[in-house]
Structure formats: structure tokens, C-alpha cells
Structure 1
Amino acid sequence: MWEQVQQTVKYIKDKTDFAPKYGVILGSGLGGFADDIEIEFTLPYNEIPNFPVSTVEGHKGALIFGKIGGQTVVAMQGRFHYYEGYSMQEVTFPVRVMKCLGVEKLIVSNASGGVNSFYRVGDIVIIYDHINMMPEHPLRGKNDERFGPRFVNMGEPYSRKMISKAKEIARAQGVDVKDGIYLGLQGPTFETLSEYRMVKILGADCVGMSTVPEVIVARHMDMEVFGISVITDMGEEGTIDAVSHDEVLMAAKNAEPKVRALIKELIVRY
């Protein structure tokens, strides 16, 4: 994989001559964050060597390079999921490319289903830990020490310093944010009521189909990570019957302005 990553990095550098410090992965309904970037280059995924192509509605499929408040940023407008049929190595390939381009801090966003009884649809949750229930692990197989160590310490998957700064920003902006533990499942089905109960019993506050693999690989490469989730549905009896992807996108879209403002200020001030 090292050679593939270097080939992709070379292509991107030849095309952009750009050195990003921040990487941002935009989840369902949050692709509008690109409007906050002073865009200098846009590379569609289908033009980038070795890159997968997103197949999910709401994920546009391009790498965007530019600046936010003077900070250099590369944003993934659309991510890849294991349920799309990609291997975990393919799902997380862009994270390795980002690191080799110079990214030191990664911001990941997603839409998730809530099981915490204090959550409501539209709530913004700062992820401080996760539970990996994916059926495959992105670091399975022979380890390449050029990327990172064989055994990765996951004691702080999400940067405490970034979390503290984000909460400070949220208070200043008057935005209510929650804390939460995110549980990653394969998908693509939404959870049954019994599965939502399982998620809660296991100690998580919300559940989704992404993020965990990317965070694991980011930590493997010693990147600092910040995670944020929008609660787009609640795993409660009487409400899950109406959950659809369109409703998830709509709920994420409604929360998007607050999420965008928070992420933008975090990049500027951290």
C-alpha cells in the first residue's frame, strides 16, 4: 500500500503544489462545508489514482484544497464506507494520503442514530470515544512500520485538547453540544429496535456506519483527531419506523450551519 499512497500523493502534489495542515471528512448532509473554504483546487475522486469513488447519495466525491482563515485545508466531499463493498484498506486510503500530504489534524463528521435519552434529533454531539463493532479491522494484515506501529494505543482516539477548544467555541457561539460515545456498525441497514437497545447496553450514545475505521488509521499515523456527529434519528419505539436516508439527510442539513461554524472556528483557532 505504501507505493500506492506515494503514487497518489505525487499525483496530487503535481496537480496542486499544496501542503494542507488540516484534513476534514464531510459526512452525510454536511458537504456544504466546502462553501466555507477559499478553494484553490478541486480534484474529483475519479481522476485521482488509486482512489475509490463514493456511491452514496449526499456524498459528492471530490478532494477540495484551500484555506480557512489562513489555515491550509484538504476536505473530502464524500467518504467511503465498508458497506459499499470496499475493503477497510480502501475505505481508509484517503486518510493515509492526507497524512503523507502533510495533514497533522483530522476532523471527521457523520450522521448517527441516537440512543441516549437526553438526545434529540438535530443535536450536535462531540465524540470523545468510540466502540468498534465493524466486522473487519483496517489494520488487519502485515503492518508497514512506515505508516505506524503494529499495536496502536487507542487511549485517546479523539484529541482532548481539540474537544476542549471546540466546547469553548460552542459556548461562545451559543451552540448547545453534547458529549458522546459513537458505536460503529457495518450497515447499510438502519438498526432494529433491539439493535438500538444493544448499542445502549454496550455503553454508546449514538451509532453509525462510518468514522471508526478512519479514526483508527489516523491514530495509527499519529494524527490528532476531532469527531462530531449530528443526531438524525432516535432509536426509540414509535419513531424508528419512519427512518429513511432522505430524513437523515434532511436532519443533517438542518444542523449543518451550526456544525460548519463550529468546525470553521476550530480550524482557525486551534
Structure 2
Amino acid sequence: MERKELDRLGLRLEDEIQAALGAGDRQRALELTSGLAKEYVLMHKGLRQVLELLLPWVEQTFRNGQTALATEITQAIEAGDQEQATSLLERRTEQHRDVHDIVLRFWTELMGYVYRQHGDAQLYAMHQHLADQLRPAFDKWEGLPVGEFVRQSAFLLKSHLGNLTVTEDDEKFTLRQDPCGSGGRLLRAGEYEGPRPLARVEAAQPITFGRPGFQIYCSHCAVWNNLATIDWYGHPQWVHTPPERPDDPCIIHIYKQAASIPAEHYERLGRKKPAAEA
């Protein structure tokens, strides 16, 4: 290769365009802009492919590890070795926590990227896109008797490894997470502070339950379990009171009758309670 071509191989389009502009060659700069839209997209395509190939492998490795630990725990209990069983139970949970928190942080960082680079509307669109893909699961929830819905909700929430208590009164079930094992643990761990903080959604709006400076992870709850289900079924499935401060619990109410859901909850989501539910 000629030296000129070798020198160009290490240059990104941005460098070449800046050099052309610096040399007063506007025509050359304009010619180079034809490749701008695709230059970095190719890298992102490759990164996506890596994740698509890697995540199923990681999941299967995790499944194998959990199966092996379950067998070892059973054997320890059968042998009367309580100390070993306890140690293995803790290891099993730690194995889950490690990968859970890695994926959770990555997902939350992606939310922050979408919000910072593309704005509030695209953050909402991201959450709605995922909700739409997951709608069959929400449809199944909608068809459950309320007691079974509470059981399945509790199983999901406690699998995030927070502290969950469930109570019942005449009109609703209350699921109190102190902390929530996903967004609440991020908040208590100080992940929204420090040199590389997770993003907060600055403007009060429906995806923040009407709060300013809202922790971005929890914005998906406003869409998945509230705004999307209001659009689909006429009511939220989970009525949230997310934490404002790190030491606050996250409260979820599951109402026995949608008509009992307070109008105020719809209003903080920028909606009105449907007349049929009023």
C-alpha cells in the first residue's frame, strides 16, 4: 500500500472531514459525509450480535450452575450437613445476584443512553417497545384471579432479591418492598451518585409518576405496569408508590376491583380514570 493509504487507515470519518475542512476542501468534506450514517452503525450491529450469541450461553451456564447447586444442597440435607447446606444455599443466591445485577445495571445504562442522547419521548418509546413484545405475559396476568396474580407478582418481585412483605385488606393487596430488589437496591447502593451516576429523568411527566429528577430504572414500571396496561385493559395492573429517597420502600397495590383504584393514580400518570372504572 502507498503511505497515504496507510495513514488513512487509522482515521475515522470525523478525522478526515475535519482535516478536509481545515484544508479548505469543502467538496471533499461533503463527499465524505455520505458514509457518516453507517460508520458506527456497523460496530453497533456487531456488538448486538455478540450479545445475541453470548446471552443464551450465559443463561444456559447459569441454569447448569443452579441445577448442580440444587443437587448438592439436596445431598447435604440428606446427609444431615446443615452447615454445608446453608453455605450452598448462600452460594446459589450469590450466583443469581451476580448475573442479575450485571444485567440490571446494563439495562439501566441503556435507558440512560436513550434518555441523554435521544430524549424523553424515545425513553418512553423504548419502554413501550419492550412492553409490546412482552404483552402476552401481561395478557396472562390480566386473565388470572386476583389471588393468583398476587402470588405470581410476589414470586417475580422476590426473585429480584429485595425484602418483600404482603398484606391484604378489604379492597387490595399491598406488596411492600424494603428495598425493592432492582430499582430500590440501585438507589440504596448510591448508583445515582458518584463519578458515573445512573441517569435521572429531570422533568416530571407520566413516565416518572409525575416526579422530577426521577431515578431512570423505575421509569419502566410507569410504562409496563401502568401506562401500557391502562391502554390495553383500561387500568393499571400494579399501582406503584416508588421510593423518593434511598431509605424509602417501594409500595405496590393490587386492587381486587379495578373500580377501587383511586383517580389520583391515573392523574399522576397523565391519564383520567375511565368512566367505566369511576
Q: Which has the higher contact order (CA 8 A, sep 6+)?
A: 1
TM-score grouping bracket, smaller chain normalisation: under 0.3
Q: Larger helix proportion, structure 1 or 2? A: 2
Q: Larger strand proportion, structure 1 or 2? A: 1
TM-score by length of 1: 0.27
Q: Is the radius of gyration larger for structure 1 or structure 2?
A: 2
